Structure 1
């Protein structure tokens, strides 16, 4: 059998080149450049001085309690904190467990939280 000689077609070459050029043009247009970059600059968004001066540990937890409207009656914070609020918006057992978990997360230690409400005292410690 005779082998057929492959025919060379300029039409196919031009068609493939046009597709390659079109894809390359689209990729170039999609890449961001400094002129087209509309995002905020990182240094403009973050004030590093205020970020590093935020309270940490015990101070952060006390600030959190203040913001939530709790009054602190006894503060022995690496171990125990007693707080009061006349009325909580959910089940007090759930609230005190959540506060104990938040205290553990903020201070890094197991803190016993005692919550005094009109309904009585609720105690929780996150393990």
Structure 2
């Protein structure tokens, strides 16, 4: 097991707490495994940034369209202006970006299973 150089420690300190995706951080340490990078960061007391404030988990709710066809989707209350955002059910993915039509706030919605 190779010791961490001062340059690597400095780079890890700078990058680990940044908003860069972990995969991008790993590019900076080609001779280290992802486990080694996480372990070193943990031992140094470094933490990754928390999830963005506008990342929300939406529960499936049934809403009725104007056609009264029972369309299934998501209803999310905007944290900025309080208006309701309707999002049609997506196919396949678990994450969707939606925009409030009233104030323009953006949300990443984790739809779950």
TM-score by length of 1: 0.21
| Structure whose alpha-carbon radius of gyration is higher | 1
